Amino acid sequence: MTGWLAIAGLGPGDEALVTPEVTQAVADATDIVGYIPYVARIAPRDGLTLHPSDNRVELDRARHALDMAMQGRRVVVVSSGDPGVFAMASAVFEALEDAPQYHALDIRVLPGITAMLAAAAHAGAPLGHDFCAINLSDNLKPWELIEHRLRLAAQAGFAMAFYNPRSASRPAGFPRVLDILREECGQGRLITFARAVSTPDERIETVTLAEATPEMADMRTVVIVGNADTRRVGRWVYTPRRAG
């Protein structure tokens, strides 16, 4: 049996948003590897072994997946959203750097719908012009770098999408983010809080920066900040395609 490794995105939550390509890879797999809540989205079946693991062990998870594929297993490493956006694709290639014995493996990255894009679609079109995505967690980068990138993105006029905005272990970061945005963008800029997008718990709320509070975000929330031209139209928010 020839082994392979697929790094797959399961989308933001709704099973209808999982691509057919990913569905087929999961159906063909002998092993599923990933963070506990993502592996829990895969239905058990005969011939399939689930390998859930805790957060912050991405490199160990990647090495385990590579090793099983080298042994002839058909392995799918799952992430939510898209595996290349703050997820497992980078971890697998990082593990691959120091392991030339795995370089000949059949490795595929299967894209998925990100929480950022699903949130934007459900809000309207707030990312309709140039935009950037910033992970607000300082687990893998210093807070000083987050603040530096945030200020420059705001000064450059990008719309911005924020991942991992606020957790119990990082209560001070997001209030500081809101302060910086008010300094750089003004009080009237529109900000959208999209929680649990595409699930039954979904909540989409758009307010101005003056009205935004830290408690409006948690780890299940994607936050989208518009640019200077972003506006409301009815219940929707959109950013025009033209600028300047």
Residue pLDDT, tens place only, 33-48:
999 999 999 999 999 9
Residue ranges per domain, the chain? 4-113, 116-238
Q: What is the CATH architecture assignment of 116-238?
A: 2-Layer Sandwich (3.30)
Considering the chain, what percentage of its residues have pLDDT values greater than 70?
100
Query: What pTM does this model have?
Result: 0.92
Alpha carbon distance 201, 193 (integer Å) = 13
- Please write down the long-range contacts of 55-63, taking CB distance under 8 Å and 24 or more positions apart: 56/139, 58/88, 58/91, 59/91, 59/94, 59/95, 61/33, 61/34, 61/35, 61/88, 61/91, 62/88, 62/91, 62/92, 62/94, 62/95, 62/96, 63/95, 63/99
Amino acid at 45: R
Position 149 pLDDT exceeds 60? yes
Q: What is the pLDDT of residue 234?
A: 94
Position 74 pLDDT exceeds 90? yes
For the stretch 104-138, pLDDT in tens is 999 999 999 999 999 999 999 999 999 999 999 99
For the stretch 210-234, pLDDT in tens is 999 999 999 999 999 999 999 999 9
**Greatest CA separation for the chain:** 60
The top-level CATH class assigned to 4-113 is: alpha beta
Do the domains 116-238 and 4-113 match in fold?
no
